[in-house]
């Protein structure tokens, strides 16, 4: 006799699959944002589950800052080859060359903010009316009030004070010409849920997430991995440490963490006992208290 109870992971999975199918049914030309990070990897996994045995009925899009960890790109390309799904890559460098984006200057230049420009250009070029992202409400407090179906005006902007109410599982994706939606199927997942799900589903991840030795620099408490895009300042040195990435983004602003967690089980233990948020290592969120809200209003995820 079954008990007809689903575990929390099964419920979250079912909710995400429901949203993904709703997207495929309600929108004409959706696209799924893919960064090569763990959240977008599980999004892709969920999409394959949602439409099985059919193919995923939308392409993936990677907005590439050009400052990626090489491991991310290798992993991405292998995943696409193995699954036979479609990937579109949009380069921030192209926006810079065109003159629509201007490279940041100053002490901590990053292309993270420029992604928004390339993303909006990519959405416009492809005439996509909906872009799915792996953002979660537990990541940052401006995201705590985000909807599953987030309406954006023709400039891609978010109006947090005027969001559509979202009730039960009835999602309203109606829009006018030129407007579009950002959709977040894993809104209700926490960092812990993501790791547990990866363990449960035996999902493969880029090696960056697991403990390894790497040369890093400590900049204002954020540990940055050695790469060509980071110039050392006075009194700074590269030093070898045993680290892993808690999130994977642009190399210039993704802080790594000292860790010897080399397996999923160890990572889960580490996440369970950790006392700093996942984005605590993200230099881009440290710029001001409302940094995320401001970037979201401009069209960032």
CA–CA gap between residue 49 and residue 41 (Å, rounded):
13
Q: Does 1 bind another protein (CB under 8 A)?
A: no
Q: How many CB atoms lie within 10 A of CB 240?
A: 10
CA–CA gap between residue 77 and residue 143 (Å, rounded):
30
Under a CB-based contact definition with an 8 Å cutoff, are residues 214 and 243 in contact?
yes
Helix (H) or strand (E) holding 154, with range, is: none
Radius of gyration of the chain (CA): 19
CA–CA gap between residue 176 and residue 178 (Å, rounded):
6
Tokens of 216: 């890093």
Q: Say how many CA atoms lie within 13 Å of 47 toward its Cβ.
A: 27
Q: Which of 39, 85, 140, 284 binds another protein (CB under 8 A)?
A: 140
Of 91-99, 116-124, 158-166, 212-220, the segment contacting another protein by CB under 8 A is 158-166
- Using CB under 8 A as the binding rule, the residues of this chain from 234 to 273 that contact another protein are 265, 268-269, 272
Q: Which of 52, 78, 98, 233 binds another protein (CB under 8 A)?
A: 52
Maximum Cα interatomic distance, the chain, rounded to a whole number of Å: 68
Closer CB to another protein, residue 69 or residue 148?
148
Q: Does 100 bind another protein (CB under 8 A)?
A: no
Q: Does 200 bind another protein (CB under 8 A)?
A: yes
Q: Which of 83, 93, 172, 207 binds another protein (CB under 8 A)?
A: 172
Chain position carrying tokens 């954020």? 222
Closer CB to another protein, residue 75 or residue 195?
195
Q: Which of 74, 166, 270, 298 binds another protein (CB under 8 A)?
A: 166
Tokens of 146: 């985000």
Q: Which of 39, 85, 193, 250 binds another protein (CB under 8 A)?
A: 193
Q: Does 6 bind another protein (CB under 8 A)?
A: yes
- Residues of this chain that interact with another protein (CB under 8 A) are 2-15, 17-18, 21-22, 24-25, 48-55, 137-138, 140-145, 160-161, 163-170, 172, 174-176, 187-188, 190, 192-193, 196, 199-200, 265, 268-269, 272, 274-277, 280, 289-290, 293
């Amino acid at each position: 006799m079954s008990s007809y109870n689903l575990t929390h992971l099964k419920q979250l999975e079912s909710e995400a699959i429901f949203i993904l199918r709703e997207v495929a049914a309600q929108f004409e030309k959706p696209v799924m944002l893919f960064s090569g990070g763990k959240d977008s990897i599980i999004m892709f996994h969920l999409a394959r589950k949602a439409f099985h045995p059919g193919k995923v009925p939308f392409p993936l899009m990677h907005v590439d800052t050009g400052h990626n960890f090489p491991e991310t790109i290798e992993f991405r390309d292998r995943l696409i080859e193995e699954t036979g799904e479609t990937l579109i890559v949009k380069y921030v460098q192209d926006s810079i060359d065109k003159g629509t984006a201007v490279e940041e200057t100053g002490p901590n230049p990053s292309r993270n903010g420029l992604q928004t420009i390339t993303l909006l250009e990519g959405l416009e070029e492809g005439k996509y009316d909906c872009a799915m992202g792996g953002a979660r409400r537990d990541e940052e407090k401006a995201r705590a009030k985000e909807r599953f179906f987030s309406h954006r005006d023709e400039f891609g902007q978010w109006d947090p004070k005027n969001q559509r109410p979202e009730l039960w599982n009835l999602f309203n994706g109606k829009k006018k010409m030129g407007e579009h939606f950002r959709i977040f199927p894993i809104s209700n997942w926490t960092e812990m849920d993501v790791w547990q799900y990866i363990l449960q589903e035996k999902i493969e991840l880029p090696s960056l997430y697991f403990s390894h030795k790497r040369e890093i620099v400590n900049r204002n408490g954020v540990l940055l991995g050695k790469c060509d895009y980071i110039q050392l300042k006075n009194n700074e040195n590269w030093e070898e440490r045993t680290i892993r990435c808690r999130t994977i983004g642009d190399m210039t602003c993704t802080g790594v963490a000292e860790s010897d967690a080399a397996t999923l089980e160890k990572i889960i233990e580490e996440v369970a006992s950790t006392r700093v948020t996942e984005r605590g290592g993200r230099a881009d969120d440290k710029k001001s208290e409302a940094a995320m809200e401001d970037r979201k209003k401009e069209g960032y995820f």
